[in-house]
Amino acid sequence: MYQLSLTHPQKRAFITGAASGLGRAFCLELAKDGWTIGMADNNVKELEATALEIEKAGAKTLLFPLDVSDKDQYKQVAADFLAQAGGIDLLFNNAGVGDGGGFEEYALENYEWMVGINQMGVVYGCYYFIPAMKKQGSGHILNTASAAAIGCAPTMGAYNMTKAAVVAISETLYGELMDHHIDVSVIQPTYFRTNVIQHARGGEIVKKATRMFIEKSGLEADTVAQEILTRAGKKELYIILPKDARKMWQLKRLAPTWFRKKVKEQFMAAMNKAMRRSS
C-alpha cells in the first residue's frame, strides 16, 4: 500500500488527463489501494473505456468530461466532484500536450493553446480545489511539469515555458500551503512512453524527434507512476526522474552556460537525425 493511502485514509483523488498515459497509470496504481477517483479527460470515449479497467482494478470512479483550459467548465466539474466525493485528498494536475517549433515560426494561436492546457489547466485545478483542502486541513497536490523545464531545448519554447511555469506555481504553493498541512509535489520526468504529442501542431519533424526520444528512454508510464507515488508519499517537492534527469538538473545548477551549449548540441543532433529519417 502506498504511503499516500495511509496518510489520506478517505482516499479521494481527482486526476486530469486520466484516460491515457501517466494519468491512466496513476489511476491503476491508486485503484489497487481502493481509492475513489474523479477521472477527467476531454476524450469521453477513451475515458469511459479506461474507467471500466480502473473499476476492475478496485477503484470507485467518477467520470468528468473536461477541457482543462475552460475555466468555467473546470469550476463546475470541481464543484461536482467535491459534492459527490465529499472532499479531496489528492489533486493530480496531469493533463497536457507536447509540441514544438521555432520560436517565431510557431503560431501565436499555438502558444495560447499550449498555455491554456499546460499552464492554466494547472492554475484552475489548484484554484478550485485548494479552498476545500484548506477547509479540511489536509491534501496533496501533484503537478505535472517536465524535465523540459530544466533543459529548455531549442525549438520547444512554448512547451518549455509552460512547464517552467508549473514548477514556479508549485514552488509558490509549497510555501503558501505548508501551514495548512497541504503538500505539493512537482513532477519533472524526461521522456517516457505516452501519447503527449498526439495533438502536436508543430509538424512531422517534431513528432519524429519526440518519438525517437520516447523510444530511447525505455521508460513505461506505470514505472514512472509508481516512483512518483512513492516519492510523493515522502512529501518530496521536486520529483525529478529518472537518474539522468536528476543529473541534468545538477549540471544546470553547477555550469549553466556549458549546460546550455550541450543541450543545444544534443537536441539539434536528434532533430537532424529525425530529418534524415523523414527524407
Asked if residue 120 lies in contact with residue 163, where contact means CB atoms within 8 angstroms, the answer is no
CA distance 206 to 201: 9
User: How buried is residue 265: exposed, middle or buried, by Cβ count under 10 Å (0-12/13-18/19+)?
Assistant: exposed
Cell of 20: 491515457
Residue 128 designated active-site: no
Q: Which of these is catalytic: 2, 124, 128, 159?
A: 159
User: How buried is residue 241: exposed, middle or buried, by Cβ count under 10 Å (0-12/13-18/19+)?
Assistant: buried
- Three-class DSSP category at 65: strand
- Three-class DSSP category at 103: coil
Report which of 174, 182, 85 is spatially closest to residue 131, judged by C-alpha positions: 182
Max Cα–Cα distance, the chain, nearest Å: 58
Report which of 137, 118, 141, 146 is spatially closest to residue 128, judged by C-alpha positions: 141
- Three-class DSSP category at 93: strand
Catalytic residue annotation: 159
